[in-house]
Every structure is written in structure tokens, then in C-alpha cells.
Structure 1
Amino acid sequence: MFENPKYITRGVQGEIPDSLMLLMWQMIAAMQTSQKDYLQVFTLTKTPTGQHIVHTQEQPPYRYELDMHCKCAVDAKVYVIDDETHSTMLLDSEY
């Protein structure tokens, strides 16, 4: 999964910095799990020093948290959906 063409929605393009988009794609590729769910969820939270990222999936359960220093921090929830022909990154409000 997630080895196919990748797309982003207008919402993601307008609200999520390029560096965070790239990091989320990389986090999916680097997952240490037996199986990837078709739906990956990223909760992005601004912190006093930068960005807090929580990456989760439902089946099998997976959770990874990351804090990073950056000036481009945002508050958002981002979904990445794989439908076997392509993967799409979208804001939760676009789902």
C-alpha cells in the first residue's frame, strides 16, 4: 500500500507546508508494522517549540508521535487514503 501515485487536495496544498507533507509521506513509508491500513491519520498540533505529530491507524493498531522544531507549525488533522490505484492526502474537513 501507498506505493502508487500520490495526490494532495487543495486544502492540504493551501494549509500544510511542503516540508510537513513530505514528512508525512515519509512517515507512512517508514512504518514499523505488519500491515498498513488504507487510512492513515495525522494529528498536527502547534507547540511552543514547533510541531507535534501523532500518526495513527486503526487496523492493526499503530501510533507514533514526533516532536520537531519548525517555524511552519500548524494545527490540523490530515487523512491519507490508499485506494490501490492512488494515494490521496486530504484535510479532515475535506473527507
Structure 2
Amino acid sequence: METRKLFSSDRYVTRGVHEVVPFELQLLLWSILEKRQVRGEQLDYLQVFELSAEWVDGEPVQKVVNRQEQPFQQEVFYVDHIENLAIGVTVWIIDSGEYSTAILPEEY
């Protein structure tokens, strides 16, 4: 029996994520997971994304910290040219086996 790759099924976004995370940033979070799979990394069913901003050369830059528990991994991404930054937001992307959902922790 063929094993399914995590985060490869239907994808959903909760109302909370839709309201506080700009669409282009939502796409980036899913893209990060795709790139990690292409690199051959073992992904946990729960991916945590912490969104904040840092100032670089006088300009705000979106900072995205992606981490997981099993096996523990953490990677930091910086993205410029994001029109609306998400600051102080944590997003969980959870693979349930049937579908994947981007959700705010307080919606769980």
C-alpha cells in the first residue's frame, strides 16, 4: 500500500486565518511545506508557523518561523515585499489524514 505524503490532500483555511493572515502569506506557508518535502525532510502532522516582523535597512520584513516537534526541526524565513504584515500571529497547519487545515491555536 502506498503511503500518502503529508499535506498533499485538500487544503482548508479557517475563518480566523483568513481574517488575520494576508492571502499571499497563506500561500507562502503552504509553499514552505512543499519545499521542505521536495528537500526530503520528514514532516510532522502539526506544523507551527510564528509570524512577526523585523526591521531590515529601515524597512519591515515579514519573519516566519516554522517548527515541528517530531522530529524537532525549526527554520526561519524572511520575506520582503509583503504588503500587509502579520505580526504576533501563530498559525498551525494540521494534516488530519483526509485533509489539511490552517488554523489559529485559539480556534482549535
Deviation of the 1:33 alpha carbon: 5.0
TM-score (norm 2): 0.82
Bigger-Rg structure (1/2): 2
What is the CA RMSD across the aligned residues, in angstroms?
1.2
Residues 1:56 and 1:11: Cα distance change in structure 2 (over 3 Å):
same
What residue ranges of structure 1 are gaps of 5+ in the alignment? none
**1:44 and 1:77 in contact (8 A); partners too:** yes
Separation (CA, whole Å) in 1 of partners of 2:96 and 2:83: 33
TM-score (norm 1): 0.93
- Where has structure 1 moved over 6 Å in runs of 4 or more? none
User: Counterpart in 1 of 2:101?
Assistant: 88
- 1:3 counterpart residue number: 8
How many Å apart are 1:63 and its aligned residue? Answer: 0.9
What is the 5 A alignment of 1:70-85?
A: 70-75=82-87, 76-85=89-98
Q: Percent identity?
A: 35
2:49 aligned partner:
42
Structure 2 letter corresponding to 1:52: K
